[in-house]
Structure 1
Amino acid sequence: MSSSWNESDDYEQSGDKEGRAWKLVENLAQGALKEQRRARRWGIFFKLLTFIWLFVSVGVFYNAMHVDLSGAPASASHTALVELDGVIGTDDVNADSVVTGLRAAFEDKGTKGVILRINSPGGSPVQSGYIYDEIRRLRGLYPQTPLYAVVMDIGASGGYYVAAAADKIYADKASLVGSIGVISSGFGFVGAMKKLGVTRRNYTAGEFKAFNDPFQPEDLEATQRWQQSLDTIHNQFINVVKQGRGDRLSDNKDIFSGMVWTGEQAVKLGLLDGLGSAGYVAREVIGEEEIVDFSLRLTPFERFARDFGAGVASTAVKVLGLNSLSLQ
């Protein structure tokens, strides 16, 4: 009996084992890759599902909270109400939204009178003037429809500017009324910068372009010119109040000093015609107790979209460095 060693057979067997091992590794790798792809697809699916759910939820919430002015009665007699609540010129209280509400109120055939309910410390003189002019225009178009301003907590500065266009103005005895003046304020950090050893680098085109820069010494000539502009706007404010209130104003020189008065004091000064709420005016002055709100308000969805868009735009400006140069 003899035995022999076959080197080629052993090599072939070894090669077969190695091939099967690599095949197994390959299968495992492909299986893991398929599992990753499957997990990725499911992840995308669930993210998409979550997005759809959020979108539908917001839509439902939007429909539930939406106030449609078209639902206001077109024939039944009523008192129309438009709100002006907040700082004039902001996203929440801008001239366009107030004017849109006023136009809808006057155009409605069932409107017996309009109440502009004001709760504002003032704001933009430009937008206040826009609302004032529109009230005067609408009163000319609808002479049989009176408009009354009712001040809540405060109707000052731009808030009173707008109220002056009304046929009559009412408020509570504790309401704050007046502030017929103009303000422009800021800070000066020149002394602090010297102590800290900080140097200001500001490049402009135009002699007075940076006259209000808080990090530079005050320019007396520029300040005088700016004061002239403030005085001009103040005189415009005074003329508007005189035009709106006429002979009802008293001769008290402090009326246009920028002072704020209580409702009780304001009646004596001729800044108000009487004391009363919106309900009182609707019931006792207009003679129609039923009040329909024509205020144009952003729905929660619209507010979210606006704030989100503003946030994205602000971030983009900062990231791209677009805020380094401006024409203001």
Structure 2
Amino acid sequence: MNYPEPNEQGWERRALEKLAFAALEAQKKQHRWSVFFKALGFAYLMVVLFAVVDWGVSPEHKERHTALVTLNGVIEAKGEANAEHLIAALNAAFDEKNAVGVVLRINSPGGSPVQSGLVNDEIRRLRAKYPEKPLYVVIEDICASGGYFVAAAADKIYVNKASIVGSIGVLMDGFGFTGVMDKVGVERRLLTAGENKGFMDPFSPQVAGQKAHAQALLADIHKQFIDVVRTGRGKRLKETPEMFSGLMWTGAQSVEMGLADDFGSIDSVARDVIQAEKVLDYSVKDNIAERFAKRLGAGAVQGFWKVLSENAAFGGVR
């Protein structure tokens, strides 16, 4: 029997050892690079989070200042401009002893009358609780419908000459698909317990009684809106038949009509009216977790049919 020479066995063993060590070293390098890139990605994520998250750091309150609260966008329970956020910000502003006045900046086309009403009620409560601390509204681009519902509670309203102000009215929008369904041969099968449970169903013919009831609802909310404006503006209003018709006016026209008091900006009101030039923002904003929750919440799992039918049937009162 022939056996390999000892030197031949040693050469093969050394070659295998070198290959094994080389593979091990390659794995170590790959692992190090993997750890490096993971750490780099984590650091990048931390930088992004630090940049976008509202960490709730309180501003410096030690000196005399004007408190700013912002109402921006559509007023709705699930939006950033909701009663919960606005009321929390207003309470913080009024509670701070070194905030000698509050400016509510409004840039909103309106929205929910319920959310607007909650904020209006809270402003009136806070003004009564802190009579020495004024609240002024500064309107920027637009303050319409629910936005003006909120503004009417202020001590004074300041506008830009080109601001859009008003829309003191209420609407309920939707769609009717019965004609389309007839053309494509689709039959609506709606079962209800309660003769008006299918109220304003967009896939059924409009019922005169339901339409009249909806109009009565709108008229009642419209009256509430008018009462709020009259209470807030008082004798400053120069009422005309068109004032509560849903029309809008420029800032200059709104001053003439008594819907606003004067022209001004955040800086001019803080400097010249409140006489506390330093402005600190008390606005409450969603943190990143809340934003994701709202975007990926219950609405994301609703069926298309339900979303379509609900939006079409009762697009919301505003």
Superposed, which structure 2 residues align to 1:272-283 within 5 Å? 272-283=260-271
User: Is contact 2:143–2:166 with CA below 8 Å preserved after alignment?
Assistant: yes
State how 1:305-324 maps to structure 2 within 5 Å. Answer: 305-307=292-294, 309-310=296-297, 313-318=298-303
CA-atom RMSD in angstroms: 2.9
Structure 1 or 2: more helix by fraction: 1
Structure 1 gap segments, 5+ residues each? 1-38
Cα distance in 1 between the residues matched to 2:190 and 2:39: 49
* Pairs within 5 Å for 1:250-265: 250-265=238-253
1:141 aligns with 2:129: yes
- Among all aligned residue pairs of Structure 1 and Structure 2, give the percentage whose two residues are the same amino acid: 46
- Distance in 2 separating the partners of 1:50 and 1:307: 31
Matched, 1:185 2:173: yes
Highest relative contact order (Cα 8 Å, sep 6+), 1 or 2?
2
Match of 1:29 in 2: none
Could you tell me which of 154, 164, 181 is aligned with 2:142? 154
1:82 to 69, 72, 90: 69
Aligned-residue offset at 1:53: 6.6
> How far, CA to CA, are the matches of 1:93 and 1:270 in structure 2?
26
Shift in alpha-carbon separation, 1:211–1:325, aligned structure 2, 3 A: closer
CA contact (8 A) 1:88 1:128 kept: yes
TM-score (norm 2): 0.80
Residue 263 and residue 322 in structure 1: after superposition, are their counterparts in 2 closer, same or farther (change >3 A)?
closer
**Cα distance in 2 for residues equivalent to 1:308 and 1:245:** 38
Q: Secondary structure at the match of 1:266?
A: helix
Cα-to-partner distance string for 1:59-81 (whole Å, 9 max, x where unaligned): 44333444455532222001110
Does the CA contact (< 8 Å) of 1:75 and 1:109 recur in 2? no
Contact 2:164–2:248 (Cα < 8 Å) also in 1: yes
**Residue 213 of structure 1: how far off its partner (Å):** 1.3
Aligned to 2:155: 167
User: 1:305 corresponds to which letter in structure 2?
Assistant: F
Cα distance in 2 for partners of 1:227, 1:51 equals 60
Greater than 6 Å deviation, 4+ residue runs? 48-53, 321-326
Query: How much does 1:314 deviate?
Result: 3.8
- Whole-angstrom distance in 1 between the partners of 2:45 and 2:95: 32
Aligned to 1:3: none
Describe the SS at the equivalent of 1:253. Answer: coil
Normalising by structure 1, report the TM-score.
0.78
Larger Rg: 1
Gaps of 5+ in 2: 1-26
Three-state SS of the structure 1 residue aligned to 2:100 is strand
- One-letter identity of the residue aligned with 1:87: V
Task: Report the residue type matching 1:79 in the other structure.
Answer: T
Match of 1:113 in 2: 101
The reply on whether 1:213 has 2:172 as its aligned counterpart is no
CA contact (8 A) 1:69 1:294 kept: no
How far 1:192 sits from its partner (Å)?
A: 1.8
1:25-64 matches, cutoff 5 A: 57-64=44-51
**Match for residue 92 of structure 1?**
80
**Aligned residue for 1:71?**
58
SS at match of 1:233: helix
Show the counterpart of 2:257. 269
CA distance in 2, matches of 1:95, 1:51: 41
Does structure 1 retain, via aligned residues, the 8 Å contact 2:202–2:309? no
Preserved contact between residue 104 and residue 138 of structure 2 (Cα < 8 Å): yes
